[in-house]
Structure 1
């Protein structure tokens, strides 16, 4: 990959966890009643057939990791656990009162923050509380994020007993210098310990999250991290580009000088070296930033074109309705998005008043729904088509014209009414998605909104 390509395409761009992206949500055309109507429509269409998904945000962390872009509350006071779980279950009960029948839960994902901040007993209380209002779907998939420094054997065993089979551990990087800069001191021994525990207990999919582009990170650091990771052989890997957005995340990401961050071709070299090593070790690129062994269900889903992506990440199955519980969580009915308030105290207050803690959202237009399909196709299948009226939109000729430069650079190929991303184009998938992003085209941001795409 040449430096000129990196310099050409390294621009600020969305990560496309949703379309439209959050800065382009039309909040003026959104209110709680519209969200509820959308929720009920989606539920009636999907519950009996495939079930629904729950994303549960557990925001507490004992210390601040400066690379993190998640909504979190830093505290060592574990007395906050019970009150927060009580609030989560109150929110869930409010949703269940709006639904015409008992929900069937297909997926649960515990994210954070630090889900393993919570004790095994409180985690059990949470999951059992959810199913006092719901049933489990067949072939359900429950997953959670674990911090290697504080995940215990007892927590892993308890969550396994409750039906969880997937766990992802945040690794980031094993360099002591990098760990010190990002305030995440985490010895390899801790990661190895929880990984072996999870395998021993019987988890069928163990993931590690690795980040490139961190402060002071070198090619030697990436090689060392991936070699150590390979020695543990997790089933899947997320290999993320560090998103430096201090204008959004505040002082946390201002804890080091920006000159310490790898830039442009230097940063991309970290990715290329990492990707090459992962490939040699049997990992296959199955989506944007994600790799999996052939034995993992994500690989099979990518081969069979069943891969799906939402605010919980990549999944081997698709549910039309995802309800987000907890502070800052985002819900997705397919027809609309709704985000909870990001302020913990407001979250508690709204629930005390018996109100859903939704603070903003977006009702998708017909055009939004079409573009959303294209974005999902690109990020899940590395291709998309507009061969029928359901996938065609008026600006397609303009989109094709805007992609000619990428075609000339061999990042994409056109085959009739199909666009395919080449192997060389996969690192630039965000840029390719941006060509379809009509909201972004019509109103370019005048201030910093997004991280760099490369």
Structure 2
């Protein structure tokens, strides 16, 4: 059997993260047929609204400074006069979707992402959420979460959002080491983070997530160990331990440091394994790819019961097929189609105020693509999938992938028997490689260089 280092060298290749299938580089509709997108939204709404509800992702792109590791769509400014016009545009876009729906939407989840949602004042965030929910149905079961920068998340922010129904908060930590923070331009002290966490718990938030990243410049085992020592003191409910995606050809801000500042592929994997061992000792359980949760957390319970789901917002307990994306660069998903909004704020505003949905590209899935999507979702959420012999298409896709998985079987990373594929514990770090075996678009594309980040 190959050693751990040999496995890393063998499988550390460019590959998708599978927040969608097909992945964005394989989308064909650019420009997208807006009328056909509306038809898919209307159909998904009719199917999901009464039983599962719908999900909303709202992108708030503004940040006061650029974190150079970041791969998100952001707009850097210290001019807070941009807040109200952007909120007004979001509410206008929501009204365009309300025209498509044939009933009052029942919202299962709302997630505020960025950028930095807490760039916006508590008053403007209140205006946004009240403008959304006054034309929809929310209940005590509606899951409402937001991403926060510890440096500008105040008690007023947390109290206002709590009063609106938010109970989950995700803090972007990345690393507590000052040298690492300086090189990626994301400086925040442990004391600042601790104050935000303590205040959130005092107010009544029931779920706090930390985003951490391994593979950042200047990281080493000592910095990771120290970071996790501090994390242990704060004891968040969930931890996302992401692999740093180095894509300077997409995000020029990443050119502010060089390759020599980054851990090697082997060193990067050692940082992951170290973090994973520490998390296990702290009694966090692995949930899908990159995520860990306490045994009391809903994500852990969903993973154990086989009901965990994954969409553009990440892992979720909600199974709605309809995700409406609001805001510049947001992506919507109907289960059978994707559409992404224009990325530039000015273009986004112009389209919305012209009474048009601001989508510019997307993809309408074939039956084969939907089946591949189901296989990949199972692998990402349950670390297993099956041939499903009652469905000839799913079975044929399973056998198509099986022919590409022999090396992973030989390396004892996965097991295939009786039409069932299981990812072994040792194979979980390579889940993206397993998914790639099902990805026909990946194999039909002759060049993936400067498209995807490394899988390991």
TM range (shorter): over 0.9
2:305 corresponds to: 304
2:29 corresponds to: 27
> Normalization by structure 2: what TM-score?
0.98
Contact 1:29/1:363 (8 A) holds in 2: no
Q: How far did residue 12 of structure 1 move?
A: 0.4
From the superposition, tell whether residues 277 and 64 of structure 1 become closer, same or farther in structure 2 (CA, over 3 Å).
same
2:225 alignment partner, one of 223, 226, 242: 223
> Which of 265-274 and 379-388 deviates more?
379-388
1:46 corresponds to: 48
**Are 2:135 and 1:133 equivalent residues in the alignment?**
yes
**Are 2:447 and 1:449 equivalent residues in the alignment?**
no
- Structure 2 residue ranges without an equivalent (≥5): none
What are the equivalent positions in structure 2 for 1:373-452 lying under 5 Å apart? 373-390=374-391, 392-445=394-447, 447-452=449-454
Q: How far did residue 255 of structure 1 move?
A: 0.4
Q: How far did residue 137 of structure 1 move?
A: 4.3
2:337 corresponds to: 336
2:141 is paired with a residue whose SS is: strand
- Counterpart CA distance in 2 for 1:38 and 1:427 is 35
- Structure 1 residue ranges without an equivalent (≥5): none
1:253 corresponds to: 254
> Normalization by structure 1: what TM-score?
0.98
1:247 is paired with a residue whose SS is: coil
**Are 2:100 and 1:110 equivalent residues in the alignment?**
no
Contact 1:370/1:393 (8 A) holds in 2: no
**Are 2:368 and 1:367 equivalent residues in the alignment?**
yes
Q: How many equivalent residue pairs?
A: 453
Contact 2:288/2:380 (8 A) holds in 1: yes
Q: How far did residue 410 of structure 1 move?
A: 0.8
Q: How far did residue 415 of structure 1 move?
A: 2.6
Q: How far did residue 300 of structure 1 move?
A: 0.3
- Counterpart CA distance in 1 for 2:139 and 2:441 is 37
Residue deviations 1:161-219, cap 9 Å, x none? 10001101000001111001100011111111111111111111100000000001010
What are the equivalent positions in structure 2 for 1:288-299 lying under 5 Å apart? 288-299=289-300
> Which of 232-241 and 413-422 deviates more?
413-422
2:263 corresponds to: 262
Residue deviations 1:306-328, cap 9 Å, x none? 11110011111211100000000
From the superposition, tell whether residues 395 and 49 of structure 1 become closer, same or farther in structure 2 (CA, over 3 Å).
closer
Residue deviations 1:215-245, cap 9 Å, x none? 0101001111111101100000000000000
1:119 alignment partner, one of 118, 121, 140: 121
- Counterpart CA distance in 1 for 2:201 and 2:316 is 20
1:424 is paired with a residue whose SS is: helix
From the superposition, tell whether residues 424 and 103 of structure 1 become closer, same or farther in structure 2 (CA, over 3 Å).
same
Q: How far did residue 396 of structure 1 move?
A: 3.0
1:275 corresponds to: 276
- Counterpart CA distance in 1 for 2:15 and 2:151 is 33
Q: How far did residue 148 of structure 1 move?
A: 0.4
1:398 is paired with a residue whose SS is: helix
2:394 is paired with a residue whose SS is: coil
- Counterpart CA distance in 1 for 2:189 and 2:285 is 27
2:17 is paired with a residue whose SS is: coil
1:107 is paired with a residue whose SS is: strand
- Counterpart CA distance in 1 for 2:30 and 2:347 is 21
Q: How far did residue 352 of structure 1 move?
A: 1.4
Contact 2:213/2:243 (8 A) holds in 1: yes
- Counterpart CA distance in 2 for 1:438 and 1:389 is 22
1:175 corresponds to: 177
Q: How far did residue 397 of structure 1 move?
A: 2.5
